[in-house]
Amino acid sequence: MDRPLASAPKPVALLRSAVSQLVAGASLTFSSVPDGFDSFLAADLVRALAAKAEGRAAALVHVARDGQRAQAFEEAFRFAAPDVEIVSLPAWDCQPYDRVSPNAAIAAQRMTALARLARARGSAERPRLVSTTVNAILQRVAPRDWMAAETLAAAPGNALDMDELVRWLESHGFLRSSTVRETGE
């Protein structure tokens, strides 16, 4: 027997219930959400979760089954929530113990995502969503404290001590040269 429309749960009540469960430390799994609608559901959840985070770093994690689905979700999510930061964590493009090294662009994207997550302080100003795949979430990463300590953030307008920058670059494998010709110099 169908429930009458008046007693059906309201979407706002369901959202509040989901957010309170997430804030309490529970994990939620949403399945059978139609393609395209999942981005709107995630947008509402991430905004509500960020509002309840009280200055702590909070992020909602969306795990797609593969890279193509993750990319489609991210595009739909950007439409649904342009105000939310998306941190995309891709999987390596090679198998463990393979003789081929991972693509440098994918390695850089993974390191950027992990560094952004490691240095996260709060999400009240700008909510955050981590978009990843099953393969990427199963791959090991460095500890958060190490990642925060070993990364360098430089942006236009920021002032950096030149000696400290040179020391950091040399300690992370860069070679000092008068003219830069190759990556890593």
Give the containing element (helix H, strand E) for 68. Answer: helix 67-80
Q: Output the pLDDT for position 121.
A: 66
136: Cβ contacts below 8 Å, ≥ 6 apart: 89, 90, 91, 92, 110
Q: Output the pLDDT for position 8.
A: 45
Q: Output the pLDDT for position 159.
A: 84
Cβ–Cβ under 8 Å, residues 88 and 74 = yes
Report the alpha-carbon distance of residue 85 to residue 104 in Å, rounded: 23
Q: How much is the pTM?
A: 0.75
Consecutive 10-residue runs of the chain (185 residues): their mean pLDDT? 50 79 81 83 84 72 90 92 90 81 84 84 71 91 84 80 83 81 78
Q: What is the DSSP letter of 57?
A: -
Q: Output the pLDDT for position 3.
A: 47
Residue 72 burial (C-beta neighbours within 10 Å; 0-12, 13-18, 19+): middle
Q: Output the pLDDT for position 55.
A: 65
Q: Supply 2's token pair.
A: 């169908």
